[in-house]
């Protein structure tokens, strides 16, 4: 009797999944790695793996909508004569003009100002749109020094020395030629249409001792008025935070690997750095070990999406968070209303990340004058302000339930973790236990 061999279901490899196969084919066809914007897309341990413990008997909750829960924060009180005072602990992260359109920068300024917070420049310098519409503007001092000048330094409310980004710690940038309009070329002192390679390191200092002297120079130029932030990519948060404090920073910004970038190699974005959640406790610990927690403020960014994320970050010891990708979405980036246009680019709303190509249907990450008309900076600014206010209300709701009359009174004791990984990274107990994996070390 002949043996019947039944057909089996075709099985795809988990290692060589469809995306991986398409990347291999693309690399073989083009001879160049994939460049894209945004932050890490892979699944990473995140704030979702933490839960708050609301008040019952052992804690006493505050009434929602009746009892005050303060949200304000002061940044830069260590050395600066004029620290920054914000109404909410959510700031807008640095995103460059050149990568973003002028109307998008204006909308960020409008939205941040309406919500009582700051916005930040980026590689490319300070634009009038942004300065004019931002009550509080942080001026980034970047390795490339595109558009850097002392006049704008003095017009800023704070200075952020950018050492690294979460999406690419140790990496430089690449703005492809198609986005180099006349105006962008003029601001960056380069010929129109060429790829612009941004340096990965500052040209005139090489280590923490030099950085200390560089910060002194910036303070002298601005008469010690403005807070100096130091921003690092989330790679070695304990040591980088400690060295930033040693160098004299008023504020340390730690950007986790979910933090976005305008354009970098996909392989870099997905494989370098640490998740935001993993960066917070070591950075806080560094400040605590130095006796500088709450004296040098800590801002954390990278994948912050809602008020729960804000509250969790604050509970773990940060003073404020910063948002970039979420702010772009609030302005209208990746909006399904442009689905047909996204399809024409071979993608879909929600997945578009080729911001460097300058063809953003939403008019946000482009220098195309026609596409730019699609964003109304007043309406988009209002949307951003709405979003920031919602996040704040959400964080307040959680804080009140935990019995806190200030977002800054949230503490690690208010949290438990759903996974061992998150418990170890955040330094809070695994839910239902008093076990904190990895306590006494990193």
Q: Which residues bind other proteins (CB under 8 A)?
A: 30-32, 144-145, 148-151, 153, 174, 176-177, 188-191, 194-195, 197, 199, 203-205, 210, 213-214, 216-217, 220-224
Q: How many CB atoms lie within 10 A of CB 279?
A: 32
- Smallest distance, Å, CB 190 to other proteins? 6
- Smallest distance, Å, CB 154 to other proteins? 8
- Smallest distance, Å, CB 217 to other proteins? 4
CA distance 172 to 195: 13
CA distance 278 to 47: 10
Nearer to other proteins, 214 or 400 (CB): 214
Residue owning tokens 């195309």: 368
- Smallest distance, Å, CB 127 to other proteins? 17
CA distance 21 to 23: 5
Nearer to other proteins, 36 or 110 (CB): 36
- What is the length of the chain? 442
Tokens found for residue 171? 């990496």
CA distance 154 to 152: 5
- Smallest distance, Å, CB 394 to other proteins? 42
Nearer to other proteins, 216 or 345 (CB): 216
Nearer to other proteins, 155 or 373 (CB): 155
CA quadruple 53, 56, 60, 63: dihedral positive or negative? positive
Nearer to other proteins, 67 or 204 (CB): 204
Task: Classify the phi-psi angles of 432: left when phi > 0, otherwise alpha if psi is within -120 to 50, otherwise beta.
Answer: left
- Smallest distance, Å, CB 178 to other proteins? 10
CA distance 350 to 352: 6
Instruction: Sort 65 into a burial class: Cβ within 10 Å, 0-12 / 13-18 / 19+.
Output: exposed
Nearer to other proteins, 221 or 378 (CB): 221
């Amino acid at each position: 009797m002949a043996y019947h061999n039944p057909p089996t279901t075709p099985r795809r490899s988990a290692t060589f999944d469809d995306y991986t196969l398409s990347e291999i084919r693309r690399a073989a066809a083009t001879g160049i790695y994939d460049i894209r914007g945004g932050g890490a897309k892979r699944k990473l341990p995140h704030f979702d793996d933490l839960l708050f413990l609301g008040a019952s008997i052992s804690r006493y909750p505050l009434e929602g909508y009746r009892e005050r829960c303060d949200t304000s924060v002061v940044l830069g009180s260590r050395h600066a004569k004029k620290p920054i005072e914000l109404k909410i602990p959510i700031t807008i992260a640095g995103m460059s003009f050149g990568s973003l359109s002028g109307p998008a920068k204006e909308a960020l300024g409008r939205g941040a100002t309406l919500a009582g917070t700051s916005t930040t420049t980026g590689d490319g310098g300070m634009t009038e749109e942004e300065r004019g519409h931002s009550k509080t503007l942080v001026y980034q001092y970047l390795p490339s020094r595109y558009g850097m000048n002392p006049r704008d330094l003095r017009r800023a409310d704070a200075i952020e020395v950018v050492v690294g980004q979460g999406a690419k710690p140790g990496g430089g940038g690449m703005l492809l030629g198609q986005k180099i309009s006349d105006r962008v070329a003029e601001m960056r002192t380069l010929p129109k249409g060429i790829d612009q390679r941004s340096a990965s390191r500052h040209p005139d200092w090489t280590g923490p001792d030099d950085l200390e002297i560089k910060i002194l120079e910036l303070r002298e130029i601005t008469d010690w008025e403005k807070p100096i932030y130091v921003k690092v990519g989330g790679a070695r948060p304990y040591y980088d935070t400690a060295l930033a404090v040693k160098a004299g920073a008023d504020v340390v910004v730690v950007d986790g690997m979910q933090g976005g970038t305008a354009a970098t190699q996909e392989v870099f974005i997905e494989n370098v750095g640490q998740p935001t959640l993993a960066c917070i406790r070591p950075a806080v610990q560094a400040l605590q070990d130095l006796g500088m927690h709450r004296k040098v403020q800590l801002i954390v960014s990278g994948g912050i999406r809602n008020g729960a994320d804000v509250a969790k970050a604050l509970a773990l010891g940060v003073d404020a968070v910063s948002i970039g990708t979420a702010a772009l979405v609030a302005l209208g980036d990746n909006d399904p209303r442009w689905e047909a246009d996204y399809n024409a680019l071979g993608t879909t709303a929600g997945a578009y990340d080729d911001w460097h190509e300058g063809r953003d249907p939403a008019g946000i990450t482009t220098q195309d004058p026609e596409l730019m008309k699609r964003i109304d900076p007043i309406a988009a600014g209002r949307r951003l302000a709405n979003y920031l206010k919602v996040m704040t209300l959400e964080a307040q709701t959680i804080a009140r339930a935990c019995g806190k009359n200030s977002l800054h009174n949230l503490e690690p004791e208010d949290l438990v973790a759903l996974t061992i990984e998150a418990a170890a990274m955040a330094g809070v107990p695994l839910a239902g236990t008093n076990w904190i994996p990895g306590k006494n070390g990193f």
